[in-house]
Structure 1
């Protein structure tokens, strides 16, 4: 009598196990119940804010659903900014009340220290700065945060104290209060400005949009940066008090905020000053729109448009500190920083209305050197942009920037971009035509 062929049975069983669809079907069809959720490592964090973030785990109906909802809960816990590490362990339920299909989910967490510090340097917009920060995370046990930050730069020095409080169960809905002092130098206007202020913000989502309501009260001190400052800048010198209400709406479907490949962005801002106090009165509106589309050969086409208008309320003209500025690598390339629009004796005074737009094409480097590694951080950038800045009572001033590659003298400008997670470095050569 021949015995069973264990070898053949083992091979068949192995073939069945490696089929992902069959394995996934078994896991999805197996009904389970999450009986207990445990936390290990909690200290000063309150239970109620934790329950809001993990409540969906109890609604899972099968093992795949438990894994997915546990991962989502882990991401929500990390987003609170109160834990250094969050690990998830899923096991069968133990104890007298354990069900045959019962599961226990355990979150192993490590809370942040009561006081944390940071030090970093930043370089951008032709300015370098050193930033020191102190943070008190999870101050009262419900994800509150108090932050002190000091920044010393080549053109700007600032320090501020802020308090942040999210709504339990809805982190996007939050409230913050800020106290600050900022001293900045603006060489394009021969202007020095010192702001001392307080602001309150309330952020909340509505459907696919994010909104911010803000009140700001600021004491501003304007002065000349050099003895050669124009008379138009000198007459703006002195003190002013601005109290304003503002609203911002953002719709962002981009896959990344740094050189996105697809999606769109729309920002709309309104600011009303003077009705809550102060000696500055105006209505200010501006918007930004960006559309990104991925093309063949890993190329990306992007179109962008900005615009805005400032209307003084009353007989007092607008302040140089409230106007729009245009020009430079962040708006209309080919011009010096904020060097478009009305000026007086070489000092740029800003404008009360503007628009700017650009067309961009991002492509991989020719011949794809370093493909799949370091070379993917570099991209070639072709672009065309234009802009217009004017004062409402100055007449109409048109500024157009047509930028060309200096080697070939055509209408395509190229830049080499080096991409990092939080920044973009540009190396460019530009010739421009200024039409007034």
Structure 2
């Protein structure tokens, strides 16, 4: 269901068998102290051989891309630095449990006086691993069971099966991931999934069965994702009191869409940043590759963070989106934007802003255009005894949020659209406490004062709790 979101080098020759992961130390062994001093002072060191100890199913050709730069080292300090960087790249592949680096003088008939041999001692991950954990989404929790086959074909491929059971959503997913050798940031993935979700604000139940392919790649300082998705959607009523407007959209539909996402992220943390900026831009085009849905969807997310005195942080966010139907068929309730709740415009109930069905139930139908903005001030807890302890996980939070969600008549022109988005603005202010859960999620407990309330809006005047990974 739609939600508010802004949603080479050739391998070098190597000798020896394998790899490992973990410690940050680079060890120099079997070298006399006098010889060590000579190597350190030598400005013309040559890396002659790289060995891998501990390889099993891993193919050596993919490892050559990751360690190729060590052969360009010119002195011993450079060798240590490039070896450490190579170790980090090997760990990034996600196929080793441990990686250690050992540097030694060259041995053998072809050994040079200033030659060095580097050995990467590695421990591969098991062929199959399982996991059990809990996951926090936008104001919902899930139990997640996973099964992973890392390094499936020996070149950092990964096959993952995941089952998630949550308070509002249950899902199954099978994913295959394949990085490009030497360019781990470029990857291809294929996903099969089934997701069943409940959306009480719309009295709607939705089941999606789909397949998608993703291609991720960086360009300069930006990261891009190209995606095709084909999904069979089944919409149904969640209760007997479901409004006619929602019942009218119930049934089976097929959506086939192409989408592109661009991300620039310079923040020091994705959950509670102290500095940096984030820009996300998404485009989705449905209908040209088949299916029942035909639309163009654009949305963005912008966030700026500035650290102030006394360890306080000023943060500003802006979200926006536009859904343009193509052809005469109206947009689906499953593709529209939704706004309101503890993770967006605080002080309002979850997704309870905007167009609503007639009748007693007043189901929220979503909108084709929206914007939302927020200004936040995060400060340390008052009377904090010492810094660097458990108290650093908490922040005091002062906020001002505003936004609007509506449908547009696309024949009226841009000025009329802007005027409609500027009418009936909902806004709120308040203060509370934020708890950071590692770099995974965060919890908020705020006292909210909603303003600009319109007929049909559901408010949460007073204490409101929020949990998730993405907040306005």
Give the TM-score taking structure 1 as reference length. Answer: 0.89
SS of 2:240 mapped into structure 1: coil
Partners of 2:89 and 2:200 lie apart in 1 by 44
**2:424 alignment partner in structure 1:** 398
Partners of 1:64 and 1:229 lie apart in 2 by 70
Contact 2:203 2:239 in 1 (8 A): yes
Contact 1:340 1:399 in 2 (8 A): no
**2:270 alignment partner in structure 1:** 257
CA 1:115–1:82 in 2, change beyond 3 Å: closer, same or farther?
same
- Which stretch shows the higher mean deviation, 105-114 or 418-427? 418-427
| 1:193-342 map, 5 Å | 193-342=206-355
CA 1:365–1:27 in 2, change beyond 3 Å: closer, same or farther?
farther
SS of 1:280 mapped into structure 2: strand
* In the alignment, structure 1 residue 364 sits paired with structure 2 residue 380: yes
SS of 1:343 mapped into structure 2: coil
CA 1:189–1:295 in 2, change beyond 3 Å: closer, same or farther?
same
Partner of residue 62 from structure 2, selected from 41, 45, 49: 49
Give the TM-score taking structure 2 as reference length. Answer: 0.83
Which one scores higher on RCO, CA 8 angstroms, separation ≥ 6?
2
Partner of residue 414 from structure 1, selected from 414, 432, 454: 432
Partner of residue 96 from structure 2, selected from 74, 83, 94: 83
* In the alignment, structure 1 residue 35 sits paired with structure 2 residue 48: yes
- Which stretch shows the higher mean deviation, 361-370 or 212-221? 361-370
Partner of residue 373 from structure 1, selected from 389, 395, 402: 389
- Which stretch shows the higher mean deviation, 362-371 or 247-256? 362-371
Partners of 1:290 and 1:141 lie apart in 2 by 40
RMSD: 1.8
C-alpha displacement of 1:296 = 1.2
Contact 1:380 1:417 in 2 (8 A): no
- Which stretch shows the higher mean deviation, 194-203 or 124-133? 124-133
- Which stretch shows the higher mean deviation, 379-388 or 185-194? 379-388
SS of 2:82 mapped into structure 1: helix
**1:116 alignment partner in structure 2:** 129
Partner of residue 424 from structure 1, selected from 423, 442, 445: 442
C-alpha displacement of 1:400 = 2.0
Contact 2:286 2:296 in 1 (8 A): yes
C-alpha displacement of 1:271 = 0.3
Unaligned 5+ runs, structure 2? 1-36, 410-416, 455-472
C-alpha displacement of 1:94 = 2.2
**1:17 alignment partner in structure 2:** none
Unaligned 5+ runs, structure 1? 1-23, 405-412
C-alpha displacement of 1:435 = 4.0
C-alpha displacement of 1:430 = 1.4
Partners of 1:419 and 1:138 lie apart in 2 by 30
CA 1:149–1:416 in 2, change beyond 3 Å: closer, same or farther?
closer
* Deviation by residue 1:30-54 (Cα, 9 ceiling, x = unmatched): 3311111110000111111000000
SS of 1:35 mapped into structure 2: strand
* Deviation by residue 1:112-133 (Cα, 9 ceiling, x = unmatched): 1111111112244332221111
CA 1:282–1:62 in 2, change beyond 3 Å: closer, same or farther?
same
C-alpha displacement of 1:372 = 1.9
* Deviation by residue 1:192-230 (Cα, 9 ceiling, x = unmatched): 000000001111111111111100000000001001111
Contact 1:28 1:64 in 2 (8 A): no
Contact 1:115 1:137 in 2 (8 A): yes
C-alpha displacement of 1:420 = 2.1
Aligned residue pairs, count: 405
Q: Which has the higher Rg, Structure 1 or Structure 2?
A: 1
Partners of 1:197 and 1:87 lie apart in 2 by 42
| 1:7-18 map, 5 Å | none
SS of 1:325 mapped into structure 2: coil
SS of 1:273 mapped into structure 2: strand
Partners of 2:136 and 2:273 lie apart in 1 by 22
Contact 1:176 1:200 in 2 (8 A): yes
CA 1:28–1:307 in 2, change beyond 3 Å: closer, same or farther?
farther
